[in-house]
Copies of this chain bind each other. A is one copy, B any other.
Amino acid sequence: MTLLDKLQIELPSWAFGNSGTRFKVFGTPGTPRTIEEKIADAATVHRFTGLAPVVALHIPWDRVDDYRALRRHAADHGVRLGTINSNTFQDDDYKFGSLTHTDKAVRQKAIDHHLECIDIMAATGSRDLKIWLADGTNYPGQGDIRGRQDRLAESLAAIYQHIGEGQRLVLEYKFFEPAMYMTDVPDWGTAYAQVTALGERAVVCLDTGHHAPGTNIEFIVAQLLRLGKLGSFDFNSRFYADDDLIVGAADPFQLFRIMFEVIRGGGLDESSPVALMLDQCHNVEAKIPGQIRSVLNVQEMTARAHAVDTDALAVAQETGDVLGANAIFMDAFYTDIRPALAQWRTERGLPADPMAAFAESGYQDTINAERVGGTQSSWGA
């Protein structure tokens, strides 16, 4: 299982804060008040799984005075800082757009925010600047689709020229929400066209919840890998919209198919730059075990996908043996890999059952008791 030893999953700091829907955000005891506490929680996920050594930051939610100190704090907890995620959707100035805004001053403000993020990357040692834009419009006629796209290209170019050697600009696309008629980067095609225009260090982020109903996501994975433009994943799962549920919870077979194409396309090769990140929104489930479950699901489906007998599959595919090929593929999905993974963990000094081990560890009780007072972190702060 050497491939599994390479599997590293990046956790989003905000997954440990409160989040929810427009109807209600439920707070829970023990929720972090600071980025330092979020990192402690993320490190706990890694300690129990061995899978999640990287924590992504969100600016300004995770803004601190001293990022180098934060970097040491992470190292002290056994993890490192990862992707820097920008935010241009929570300021009144951005009501009608950020990088696409008709007002040059607003665009410049949004560009400057990204330059701040790039500065932070230098301090945190982060490789990736991830840009998800809420830009878009709610009503036909509200904005000029073409003009917005042109301004987007211009703004991205202004940011891109500050992306250093060994760094990447990662552009995320999203089908809808919060914009309800048109988003400015709605699909992989748009993200691909934009990053291709920028240059080699610009790549695409695929969030598994950001597609139209019925979209074959593994096809996009295969295609972006083929084109050399798959930068990273935001893993989560959904039944309807951008539900941001636990990874693999809605359709484990889809996760299996996605990981199969990741492997097929070299996304887990030694030299692969593809970042596997989670992006969930814990609404009703416990946060830390919710993340543990997600990283275990990614690992499990990666292991099942890796178990496909690709030689036999290739023969069946080439001979038009539809049922045979499908059977080979499904056999790997249906085979219970969990005992092997428990052994993999035990061999590495990890708990065989991370969910149970966490529950028994008392960590949650400790933070419930300690984290009293202050303001719990959420999307708003």
Interface positions of A (Cβ within 8 A of B): 19-24, 26, 89-90, 92, 95-96, 102-103, 134, 138-147, 149-150, 175-178, 180-182, 186-190, 192-193, 211-216, 218-220, 222-223, 225-227, 238-241, 243, 245-246, 249-254, 257, 261, 264-265, 281, 283-286, 289-290, 293, 300, 308, 313-314, 317-318, 320, 322-323, 325-330, 333-336, 338, 355, 379
Given contacts A96-B320, A141-B317, 12 further A-B contacts (CB under 8 A): A21-B22, A23-B134, A24-B89, A138-B322, A145-B261, A146-B265, A180-B239, A181-B245, A189-B190, A212-B215, A252-B333, A293-B326
Q: Are B134 and A218 in touch, CB under 8 angstroms?
A: no
CA distance in complex: A53, B289 (Å)? 46
- 19 sampled A-B residue pairs with Cβ under 8 A: A23-B134, A24-B89, A102-B318, A138-B322, A139-B246, A139-B325, A140-B326, A141-B313, A141-B317, A143-B317, A150-B226, A176-B214, A180-B238, A181-B245, A212-B212, A252-B334, A293-B327, A323-B355, A334-B338
From B146, B212, B251, B330, give the contact of A141 (CB < 8 A): B330
Contacts of A21 in B (CB 8 A): 22, 177-178
Contacts of A261 in B (CB 8 A): 145-146
Shortest CB-to-CB span from A235 to chain B, Å, is: 16
* Number of chain copies forming the complex: 4
Contacts of A289 in B (CB 8 A): 323
Q: Are A328 and B144 in touch, CB under 8 angstroms?
A: no
From B181, B240, B243, give the contact of A239 (CB < 8 A): B181
Contacts of A89 in B (CB 8 A): 23-24
* Secondary structure class of chain A's binding surface, majority of residues: loop
Shortest CB-to-CB span from A219 to chain B, Å, is: 6
CA distance in complex: A213, B284 (Å)? 25
Contacts of A218 in B (CB 8 A): 145
